[in-house]
Amino acid sequence: MTESQLQLREFEALPQPSSCRLIDFEEAEVRPGIVSGTYILIVRGTKPYLNMEVNLTPLVYIRQPEHWGIEVIGCLRGGIGLAAPTAPYIASLGLSGTIGTQGIEVIGATRSEKISVPPAASGDFAAFLTKELLPSIPKVSGSGATADPAEQHNQYVLPTASQLASWRAVFQGLLAGAWGPAHLQARMISSTYNVVQFLDTPTGRTYYVLMEGVPGRIPDPVDHPAGSVTITEPPADCTRRGWGTYVFAAQPERALSLSAPHPFDDLETEVEAVEAFLALGARTLLIAGTDRDQNTAEAPCKQSSRPFLEADVSHTAESVFQMAFEEIYSSDASTWHLQFHGNASTARGCEDVDVFLSNGVEAAPAKLHTLAENIAAESRAKAPGGPILMVDVYDAPDDCILRGTDNMQMRFASGRPHTSICLGKDPEETSRFIHVEQSRDARRAFPTDPLATPGRNRGVVVAGILATFP
């Protein structure tokens, strides 16, 4: 027994006061506080004595529980209790530091009630994303037809149709700022998922993160036999699903949504997306939950010689990632959506292009040309007379073939209904979606990567985005 456990046991053994008792409550609710990211518990009921004081008292724990117990305690502070058949009370408590990993439990004399509250965390948000979250995603060596079978463990769980419909409601709640209800809805779909309120201490910004587990306790991936696997609840199943992580800024600075559908396979695009999201003060960030080649089964949508596999969320219509994109894209008419990709520059027409921007149609919106000009300008400014990034826009039939036309997110953004994006035609209309295809040099970090140069690195790309969306 640890010293802390011993002290707690000694505390619990102390005599209880005779002037205070647990009393019943009728209603309990958690409301957002005045300060963003804070919560207040409000409890209502009827007390047995008119002059009884009612307080909400959190229990003492050694480590954070799933539901933090909060007792409803009535005390008579001396004198005679004034009995009253109807003496209503309202008691409140700020929940700073007294929220479990899943919420709280209000404890009365004869009943208790669990309330889901988004778990809270604080620290360096960039470090959490890049040093804890992203490394929790297993890598698969090779790509497509060359993926290493020894590293393909079918860790991506296929969501069911009913789960996907429920996920739409979760993302609608997140977009509306209903963090608590969204947290509860997410846990009803999968007990591995939480909406975590994360305070970034270096900047003071608050983010809400829909993720598996919580910071410091991300569940390990689980291998499955060959073939597609689905998991439904109840009963609760702690198996990691691999459905991705979705970040919502409480107070975004720009109407931008960024995404990384191919972590590790499109090397460093996952880190680039994180860095860009934080530097730009973007609205949302979407990160796929597994390597695109994690599962061995092929995706049911339009195929290529690669081939596309079922964990590839850019080429599979029925994914949680797709539900998130569709709800975020449809939530307004002003946000631009940038998706980061990488290539080896061997595809036809792509050999001499470092950053290739595509909207899926040759009649590219002016915004893409502006972005291309700004990235090129930033590259020249950073490396006077030195090597620079070559930037192009898809606006002619002989351009680089990596245009993202078979990308599920691009197809939906172009105006196609969800039911036709999987096997339907390529985009025919412009949209607010930008497919950012990049050479290896355009994804390098300067100056930490010795192969990066001042004018050829991902910081230049982010600076170009900033200049385009000031």
3-state helix, strand, coil in the chain (%, to 5): 25, 25, 50
Distance, CA of 202 to CA of 373 (rounded, Å): 32
Q: What is the pLDDT of residue 62?
A: 87
Both tokens of 265, joined, read: 């396979």
Distance, CA of 96 to CA of 120 (rounded, Å): 9
Task: Classify strands 256-260 and 336-342 as parallel, antiparallel or unpaired.
Answer: parallel
- Tens digit of pLDDT for each residue in 369-386? 999 999 999 999 999 889
Domain ranges of the chain: 17-116, 120-468
Q: Comparing C-alpha atoms, which of 308, 408, 309, 429 is closest to residue 362? A: 429
Of 92-101, 205-214, 329-338, 360-369, minimum mean pLDDT range: 92-101
Does the pLDDT value for residue 419 go beyond 90?
Answer: yes
Alpha carbon distances (Å) from 62 to 3, 6, 59, 101, 242: 10, 10, 10, 14, 31
CA atoms within 13 A on the CB side of 1: 8
Q: What is the pLDDT of residue 14?
A: 81
User: Do residues 402 and 438 touch, judged by C-beta distance below 8 A?
Assistant: no
Task: Classify strands 193-200 and 112-116 as parallel, antiparallel or unpaired.
Answer: unpaired
Q: What is the pLDDT of residue 69?
A: 97
φ, ψ (nearest 5 deg) of residue 202:
-65, -30
φ, ψ (nearest 5 deg) of residue 348:
-60, 125
DSSP string, 422-447: TTSPPP-S--SEEEEEE-TGGG--TT
Omega of the bond leading into 365 within 30 degrees of 0 (cis): no
Distance, CA of 421 to CA of 316 (rounded, Å): 9
Q: What is the pLDDT of residue 80?
A: 81
Read off the DSSP letter of residue 329.
H
Distance, CA of 465 to CA of 256 (rounded, Å): 10
Q: What is the pLDDT of residue 8?
A: 66
Residue with tokens 């005679």: 80
pTM above 0.75, yes or no: yes
The confidence band for 4, taking pLDDT boundaries of 50, 70 and 90, is low
The helix/strand/coil state of 293 is coil
Does the pLDDT value for residue 470 go beyond 80?
Answer: yes
Alpha carbon distances (Å) from 323 to 8, 222, 290, 319: 46, 23, 16, 6
